[in-house]
């Protein structure tokens, strides 16, 4: 439903807007009370995000979707600031909420962003931009990214948003290098597009970890030692330790064996 505090454009008039679609992970697997709590928490989290910089919620045209939300933002806003601030606030809010939540009550969210001509129809929002942002949010690639992410939120943006907003702003909080390009294909809907997924700045550190480490070279084969020759009867013999270099004797232990006498090995601490 649209916000009654704002005067929407006439129905049928297309307006180019920023479109944001959000969804909670594993919402349907929660019990009834858990679904109610999840909706309450998500609504409060987004309200706080708007209050602290992501654009006041009174300026959002919102269509509730149970475990998610579809929002159209007014034209002329600073899109880079809104998207960056929204991610900052949602990430922080989820961290605070999940810190005290049980494992099955944790909230994790997918956020999709696109822009284009949008329409206010009789039963809600309409237009190709609206369909696209919802498909990005629901794409298998976005779900898999959230499943594997250490963060509790992932962002998926259209190529247009990535080129114009993310690369154009090139902020520290949403660095373009941390986005992963992927192709979204939904054959049953005849939908194919390129999108970019952000699952946290771990991508910067992950580049090194995902590279294949060079194998450690095997140590060079040591030449086989010649068989020891028996010492002539009555003569003294010498036993060399493993670290003794024949020729230039260095670093090994050497013991003198005299026939008829026990082998004398220096005691610990004995300098001999």
**pTM, entire model:** 0.69
Q: What is the pLDDT of residue 70?
A: 94
Distances in Å between the Cα of 61 and the Cα atoms of 6, 20, 130, 182, 207 are 8, 10, 12, 29, 39
Please state the φ and ψ torsions of residue 255, each to the nearest 5 degrees.
-120, 140
* Cα–Cα dist 230/66, whole Å: 90
More confident residue, 66 or 10: 66
Residue 174 scores a pLDDT above 80: yes
Q: How many CA atoms lie within 13 A of 16 on its CB side?
A: 5
- Give residue for tokens 């809907």: 189
More confident residue, 180 or 13: 180
Q: What is the pLDDT of residues 90-105, one digit of tens each?
A: 999 999 999 988 888 8
pLDDT interval class at 1 (50, 70, 90): very low
Asked whether the CA dihedral 176, 179, 182, 185 is positive or negative, the reply is negative
Q: What is the pLDDT of residues 75-93, one digit of tens each?
A: 999 999 999 999 999 999 9
Q: Contact, 252 vs 242, CB < 8 A? A: yes
Structural domains of the chain sorted by starting position, each given as residue range(s) with its CATH number in brackets: 15-202 (3.30.70.1230), 234-263 (no CATH)
- The mean of the pLDDT values for the chain is 78
The strand pair at 191-198 and 254-257 is best described as unpaired
* Cα–Cα dist 272/268, whole Å: 10
Distances in Å between the Cα of 75 and the Cα atoms of 79, 142, 151 are 9, 27, 30
Q: Contact, 47 vs 3, CB < 8 A? A: no
Q: What is the pLDDT of residue 64?
A: 82
């Amino acid at each position: 439903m649209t916000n009654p505090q704002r005067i929407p454009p006439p129905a049928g008039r297309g307006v180019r807007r920023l479109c944001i679609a959000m969804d909670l992970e594993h919402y349907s697997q929660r019990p009834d009370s858990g679904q109610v709590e999840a909706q309450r928490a998500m609504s409060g989290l987004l309200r706080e995000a708007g209050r602290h910089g992501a654009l006041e919620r009174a300026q959002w045209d919102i269509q509730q979707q149970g475990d998610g939300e579809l929002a159209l933002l007014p034209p002329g806003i600073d899109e880079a600031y809104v998207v960056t601030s929204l991610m900052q606030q949602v990430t922080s809010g989820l961290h605070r909420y999940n810190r005290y939540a049980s494992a099955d009550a944790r909230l994790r969210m997918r956020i999709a962003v696109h822009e284009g001509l949008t329409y206010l129809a009789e039963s809600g929002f309409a237009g190709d931009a609206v369909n696209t942002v919802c498909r990005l949010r629901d794409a298998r690639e976005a779900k898999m990214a959230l499943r594997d992410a250490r963060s509790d939120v992932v962002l998926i943006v259209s190529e247009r948003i990535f080129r114009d907003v993310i690369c154009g702003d090139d902020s520290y909080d949403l660095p373009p290098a941390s986005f992963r390009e992927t192709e979204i294909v939904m054959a049953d809907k005849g939908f194919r597009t390129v999108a970019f997924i952000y699952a946290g700045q771990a991508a910067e550190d992950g580049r090194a970890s995902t590279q294949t480490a060079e194998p450690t070279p095997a140590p060079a084969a040591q030449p086989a030692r010649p068989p020891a020759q028996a010492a002539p009867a009555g003569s003294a013999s010498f036993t060399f330790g493993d670290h003794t270099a024949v020729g230039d004797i260095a670093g090994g232990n050497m013991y003198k064996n005299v026939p008829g006498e026990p082998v004398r090995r220096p005691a610990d601490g004995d300098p001999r």
